Amino acid sequence: MIQFSWTPLARDVLKFNVDGSTRGAPRAAGMRGVLWTSSGRVMCLFSKHLGHRESNTAGIMVIHKATDIVATNPVFQGRKIIIGSDSKVVVSWVNNNSFESINNVKLIYDIRNNLTKLGNMEVIYNARATNSFADILAKRGSNMEGDLFVCGDL
């Protein structure tokens, strides 16, 4: 049985728990995300194999995917969205003016552009223990168990 923790959100807030996973550095990598409603219902779920990557690149790629899903889907427009990642480094790169990852410049600027354009989305750090469901999906992606993308009324 899968066990995970859930902290209720404020009404009308959605939260994406995202995680990037690698099996070494660089090794097989995966990403995953789960979008929750304030009542704990899952609205969107994704998992994807990323090939060989290092862990911070996988972390940037998963936040990029989450911001793209929100930015391109009209159902999320005007909604407060929190994106939670268990990587302090990646969250810092996304939210600050500087970063050390020259290989991820385009993705970081795309993320920042989406955050600015929408104005109702933020990226925060989540402790690993609160990101367990996303972690399970990421390991699925890094194990090359197939890609998964489902959004809608789950």
For residue 149, the model assigns a pLDDT of 80
Give the phi and the psi of residue 85 in degrees, each rounded to 5. Answer: -125, 150
Long-range contacts, 7-12 (Cβ 8 Å, 24+) = 7/130, 8/38, 8/39, 8/40, 9/36, 9/37, 9/38, 9/82, 10/38, 10/80, 11/38, 12/38, 12/79, 12/80
Q: Which whole number is the average pLDDT over 35-64?
A: 89
For residue 148, the model assigns a pLDDT of 78
For residue 136, the model assigns a pLDDT of 53
Q: Are 82 and 13 in contact (CB under 8 A)?
A: yes
Q: Which whole number is the average pLDDT over 108-122?
A: 92
Q: How confident is the model at residue 143 (pLDDT cuts 50, 70, 90)?
A: low
For residue 146, the model assigns a pLDDT of 65
For residue 5, the model assigns a pLDDT of 52
Alpha helices in the chain (DSSP H): 55-72, 88-95, 105-118, 132-142
Selection from 99, 86, 101, 80 nearest residue 19 by Cα: 86
> Domains of the chain by range and CATH?
13-151 (3.30.420.10)
Is a pLDDT exceeding 50 seen at residue 60?
yes
Cα first-last separation, the chain: 20
For residue 141, the model assigns a pLDDT of 46
